Structure 1
Amino acid sequence: MSSLRRPPAPVVYDRLLDEAAQFLIEHGWGAVTMAKLADRVGVSRQTVYNTVGGKQDLAEALVMRELASFLALVDAELGQGDDLVDAIRRTAEQVFRAAAHNPLLRYTLSATHGKDADELLPLLTTQSEPLLVAATEAVTAHVPRFALPLSERETRIGVETVVRLVLSHVMQPSSSPEDAAADLAWIASQVLHG
């Protein structure tokens, strides 16, 4: 009898995002509809709308969920060691490696036309403020334990600059994860140690 009950909302939400991501990778964002998503998950279309909102809300939820997985890497790496420059290098390398192997991110970044480019890509580029703010806050939370010789303003500028450089490399890699991370660590060392 318990199998006839609806799963709790968080389970439905996660399933909807899982299926939306898979469907997007397989068929493209233009093919994603709330009706198709409802069919894949086995819920009503109204449940999809009530749970995730409209299609743009779904796109934003997918991006923010992917960001959360990257921020978990950031937290894990920045939480280790006592050398901030080395922590930045390790963190950046892990993020770059994860980005290179993330099918949803790769699909989104390769979108060049149609709904994919119009609705998904801006969430990572021209409309990326929520992403930038969340990533900057996540990194900033780790900074106090390193006792930097910088003012609060200088720290904020430094952290945001590092985050922007990481996001830039994720969007358009120009070298291997190891090399890009080493380059980023060098820049950070110049800011931190003059």
Structure 2
Amino acid sequence: MTTNLGFSTSVDFLEKLKNQTAQAHKKLESLPVSASILSPNMEMGDYYNYLSLMYDVHISIQEVVFPLLADLIPDLKEREKTQLINDDFAYLNYKKNKTIPVLTKSDISIPFALGILYVVEGSSLGGRFILKNLETIPGLDHQKGVAYFTGYGNKTGSYWKNFLNILTSYQEQNNNEDEIIKGAVYAFDCIYNHFLNTVNNEN
């Protein structure tokens, strides 16, 4: 448990946040494109597609969400993911043709933005689990081409803990858990729609 969390209030809030986003999270994970990177039979085409989709997600986050949180999260620059994906693209000789906007909402508040970032930062934890599968795939089994899923490496836990401390402190000071939860659900839904629509529109 994080050291700075006020026990009951913060834990209750994080539990509520997790519970109220569970359905949207499960719906996203049920998509074939999400399941493909956990398959022991994953093909490189699946991997290229997933990285391309996530690049769209992260460029949107960096352009829309990061400016709103720049004064709140001191290590925000270190949390950028697009360069990691670009590094993977370079190693894999993959060319991304265009970037598709993922976040469509224009009037985003700071607590709403925190909810969005909660989803993105949480995905770094899942990325460590996915990495174990990727490193069994020929072409990715030499710790190359997996910079995005390596993420923060052995600092993943501390980065997550630090973010949760900021999130819960902000919520306690401003009493806006509903807006944070709405932002998190919105993020899951946007990523789901991006994955679904992009796959459906292929060829």
TM band (smaller chain): 0.3 to 0.5
More helix by share: 1
Of structures 1 and 2, the one with the larger relative CO (CA 8 A, separation 6+) is 2
Q: Which has the larger radius of gyration?
A: 1
Q: When the two structures are superposed, what TM-score results if normalisation uses the length of structure 2?
A: 0.34
